[in-house]
Amino acid sequence: AQEQVMIRLYQDLLPSMVHIRVSQRLQGREDSPSFPGFHDWPQDDFQQDFFQQGEGSGFVWDQEGHVVTNNHVVEGAERVTVIFADGVEIQAKVIGADPDSDLAVLKLEGRNDGANPVALGDSDTLRVGQMAVAIGNPFGQQFTMTTGIVSALGRTISSTNSSFSIPEVVQTDAPMNPGNSGGPLLDLHGRVIGVNTQIISRSGFSSGIGFSVPI
């Protein structure tokens, strides 16, 4: 029965999930910032500018084509491409961001017909031990689902690019890796209960301690 629940959850949520690719033009390597999951593009011998490319996850918020992700996924991006599970790629614009809570909102440019918004859960009613599901794009492996439980509630973590601390964070052991950032944490009804944002790991890969900004 649980297996069937997971299958249906994935199939129902897949149209609402997105893979986000971003590129940023940077000046000079020595002063370049470091971004999780970013890789250098080859630099032209006749150009001093170069690009870095990165990726993350997100989900459709409403039928108007708004997409929610992490601020650190899209901060400073010159070009943002949103990729759906059916292979459709749409350019998007960052229309709002809050570095303190590490959240950002994108707006799909051009086609946004048929957008399937997610259902929202209530993070105030969560209980430690209930199952949690993450869908994202770890290491560029598009639309990967992992499962675990809500490991703890009420955690406080430091924001990635701000001195602000994010309160009431949800801790989960659902495996998350680079590329999962900005994707949803879901309950077994497929409702979003958090936005996956950070992990604790000495290796940089999943060690079973991940954090989600409560919805």
Give DSSP secondary structure letters for 139-202. GG--SEEEEEEEEEEEEEEE-TTSSPEEEEEEEE-S---TT-TTPEEE-TTSEEEEEEEEE--S
Clarify whether 72 is annotated catalytic: yes
pLDDT of residue 162: 72
Clarify whether 102 is annotated catalytic: yes
pLDDT tens, residue by residue, 85-140? 999 999 999 999 999 999 999 999 976 666 799 999 999 999 999 999 999 999 99
Q: Considering 102, 159, 173, 206, which one is annotated as catalytic?
A: 102
Q: What are phi and psi of 62, to 5 degrees?
A: -150, 175
**Tokens (6 digits) for 35:** 């971004």
Q: What Rg value do the Cα atoms of the chain yield, rounded?
A: 17
Residue 127 three-state SS: coil
127: amino acid identity, one letter: R
Q: Considering 72, 151, 173, 206, which one is annotated as catalytic?
A: 72
Q: Are 134 and 176 contacting, i.e. CB atoms less than 8 angstroms apart?
A: yes
Q: Considering 181, 187, 206, 212, which one is annotated as catalytic?
A: 181
Q: What percent of the chain has pLDDT over 90?
A: 72
Clarify whether 98 is annotated catalytic: no
pLDDT tens, residue by residue, 17-32? 999 999 987 655 444 3
